[in-house]
Amino acid sequence: MTEFKLTDITPNLTDEDAQQQILSWLHRNPNKQIFSIDEVIGDYLLKNKPPNLETQSGFYKPVTCETVTGSEPFYDAIWYLCSRSILRPYPIREQNELQFPKNFSAKFVITQYGRSWLEKFDTNNCTPSEYGRFSQLLSSRVYLFGDGYNSRSQEAIGCYRSHNYFSCCVMCGSAYESVLLALAIKKKGNEDEILTMYSASQGRSRVENYLIGQKNQFIQKEFRKYTDLLKYWRDDASHGAASSIQEEEAYTSLILLLRFVQFAEKNFAELTSP
């Protein structure tokens, strides 16, 4: 009999990879009320099993999925999803459910909030929950938009992970403004003039108009498609009046920020040309 384990296919599995597999499994099994992490790992192993593994040695050997070796990233991911109130541990019924690497539980239940969360967000794409990967996508543009943009975009991700959704929206809007300033300074060639314009009354709007006011309709439309909500939620979150901003707005702000910096990178030459 051949044992097939995680380290045979993914020796460098991260907790983000594991989280993606867990969420994918939950999407494919929407009627599952209680599940064990062993089920998720077993499913992942079977999906990635090399063809003809049973006969590779020249003899037929049945294959079993060994779900303990290398499974720590799955338990790290499960703990994170529990901390987000998406999952909760199922009451322990057997003593072996506390054995390594399970430690706190082997079975889990999707919370009511978790079901709503899973319905809204597509796990086929990188999400802000995948903090390292999403963080890298944003920080990879620091060479274009500078340290001010980088610090604010990373702070936005940190706020989202700690459930500070108002702060997340403020930081997303601030990161956008850092990109706006970087583009305008590059176009003008004079940092002091742009900062003076920005500091004046209606400064953000004046810098935006300088940057895209004379550009073609496509550039203007795409620019505003990504930035209008960023600015709205940034202003709404930073004011003292009551606001309806919750996780969905913060999530959307982060996605819009990523889409905007990708747009700005793709059209950098056009945006910064005189």
In tens, the pLDDT along 20-39 reads 889 889 988 888 888 988 89
DSSP 85: T
Q: What is each CA distance from 128 to 74, 121, 138, 248, 254, in whole angstroms?
A: 18, 10, 11, 11, 7
* Alpha-helix runs per DSSP H in 140-216: 142-161, 165-188, 191-199, 203-212
Q: In this predicted structure, what is the pLDDT of residue 211?
A: 95
Query: Is residue 16 a contact partner of residue 123, using CB atoms and an 8 Å limit?
Result: no
User: What pTM, to 2 d.p., does this model score?
Assistant: 0.63
Residue 202 confidence (pLDDT) above 70? yes
Q: In this predicted structure, what is the pLDDT of residue 216?
A: 94
Q: In this predicted structure, what is the pLDDT of residue 56?
A: 60
Length of the chain equals 274
Burial class (CB in 10 A: 0-12, 13-18, 19+), 6: buried
- Nearest CA among 183, 169, 185, 74 for reference residue 128: 169
Q: In this predicted structure, what is the pLDDT of residue 122?
A: 55
Query: Is residue 51 a contact partner of residue 36, using CB atoms and an 8 Å limit?
Result: no
Domains of the chain listed by start with CATH number:
2-120 (1.10.10), 131-272 (1.20.120)
Instruction: At 200, list the tokens.
Output: 């004046």
User: Nearest 5°: phi and psi at 48?
Assistant: -110, 15
Distance, CA of 89 to CA of 59 (rounded, Å): 42
Q: In this predicted structure, what is the pLDDT of residue 145?
A: 95
Residue 181 confidence (pLDDT) above 90? yes
259 compared with 133, residue with greater pLDDT: 259
Q: How many CB atoms lie within 10 A of CB 79?
A: 16
Average pLDDT over residues 256-269: 94
Q: Is the dihedral of CA 8, 22, 158, 236 positive or negative?
A: positive
Residue 212 confidence (pLDDT) above 70? yes
